[in-house]
Homo-oligomer: A and B are copies of this chain.
Amino acid sequence: MIELTIRETADFLLNRDHFLILCHRNPDGDTLGSGYALQSALRALGKKADILCNDSPARKFTFLFSKQQPTENQYETVVSVDVADQNLLGDALSSYRDRVDLAIDHHRSHRPFARFLLLDSKAAANCEIIYRLLLEMKVEITKEMADFLYAGIMTDTGCFCYRNVTPATHRIAADLIALNTDYGEINHRLFETVSQRELFLQEKVLKDLTYHCEGKVAVITVTLDMLTDANVTEGELDGITALPRKIEGVEIGIVIKQRGEKEYKVSMRSSGIIDVSKICARFNGGGHVGAAGCTLHGDLPSVKEQLLKAAKEALL
């Protein structure tokens, strides 16, 4: 693996063609924003570029990120965006795991898998890196690209709320808004909007909420039955995932989402004082200081016990 500067990465992209851009599985606004903005920029330069992802964008994203089909059989250059680990490409893209030419990422926990790497772990969103890259490539940034990039930045910063925000984040947002970005619409649809079904689920989930460690830890569980009852998909759980951490006094918010009979996907959030990526790393997961995840197997009570033990130790 060779680490590239932003200038070297720009040259690499300018010298290549027939791009395949890979997003991570269960795509969020940042991986989609990065991929779609890069695709739009490469196409503006007269190059061919497709996007692939293990999963279709969740319904809330479809107003901005249209579903895409591959247009070529062979690609010259494979680029991953916002993918911290080759496993996060997902099963459908597993054949590309060892064929990524360039990874553009901002995760501190990035595990190198590509031939070349552009990594900036200080960037709050991967879209910040893509923005700087487009400037370096002298691409004229269109309103469409600005919308994609803005969506990525507001997703990964919780609408500029999280502690990962830097002066650069706000300066880039200012530049993007000056390009007539539909930021009001994007914020409303991606950040603020809650469906009636989600509100229904929220009510159910709140009944199950438990507090631990003198109210410093809050745990919520979402079972497959609850999802079915509310007719809510996993991709619509962002609001629920953020909920426990929002409660006054809570330092670690834990959401346990059932995936299979004995499989639980865990989302952990902190206000940034406790590094939840370290807690999740104990269960072979990862992420950022304030937002991380992992997967545990077993019975729900045992899963919960293991998580609480780890959270308690982190609070010491």
A-to-B contact residues, CB < 8 Å: 154, 158-163, 165-171, 173-175, 177-178, 183-185, 187-188, 191-196, 199, 203, 206, 242, 245-248, 271-272
Expressed in whole angstroms, the minimum distance between the Cβ of A158 and any Cβ of chain B is 8
Contact A192 B245 (CB under 8 A): yes
Expressed in whole angstroms, the minimum distance between the Cβ of A160 and any Cβ of chain B is 4
Contact B170 A184 (CB under 8 A): no
Pairs A–B under 8 Å by Cβ, sample size 9: A161-B192, A162-B184, A165-B184, A167-B174, A192-B242, A192-B245, A194-B247, A196-B247, A199-B247
- Give Cα A160–Cα B192 distance, bound, in whole angstroms: 12
- Give Cα A225–Cα B160 distance, bound, in whole angstroms: 36
> Which of A187, A246, A248, A271 is most buried by chain B, counting CB atoms within 10 A of its CB?
A248
- Give the residue of B178, B184, B203, B248 whose beta carbon is less than 8 angstroms from that of A272: B184
Contact B271 A188 (CB under 8 A): yes
Write the chain B residue with the least CB distance to A271: B188
Q: How many copies does the complex hold?
A: 2
Expressed in whole angstroms, the minimum distance between the Cβ of A266 and any Cβ of chain B is 20
Which 8 A-B residue pairings sit nearest by Cβ, starting from the closest?
Answer: A163-B184, A170-B174, A167-B174, A161-B187, A160-B160, A170-B170, A167-B178, A170-B173
- Give Cα A195–Cα B218 distance, bound, in whole angstroms: 12
* Main DSSP-derived SS at the A contact region: helix
- Report if A174-B171 is in contact (Cβ < 8 Å); known contacts: A161-B191, A247-B194: yes
- Give Cα A28–Cα B194 distance, bound, in whole angstroms: 25
- Report if A248-B170 is in contact (Cβ < 8 Å); known contacts: A159-B161, A206-B199: no
- Report if A247-B167 is in contact (Cβ < 8 Å); known contacts: A203-B203, A206-B203: no
Contact A194 B160 (CB under 8 A): no
Contact B160 A159 (CB under 8 A): yes
- Give the residue of B161, B193, B248, B271 whose beta carbon is less than 8 angstroms from that of A194: B248
Contact A159 B162 (CB under 8 A): no
- Give Cα A276–Cα B1 distance, bound, in whole angstroms: 56
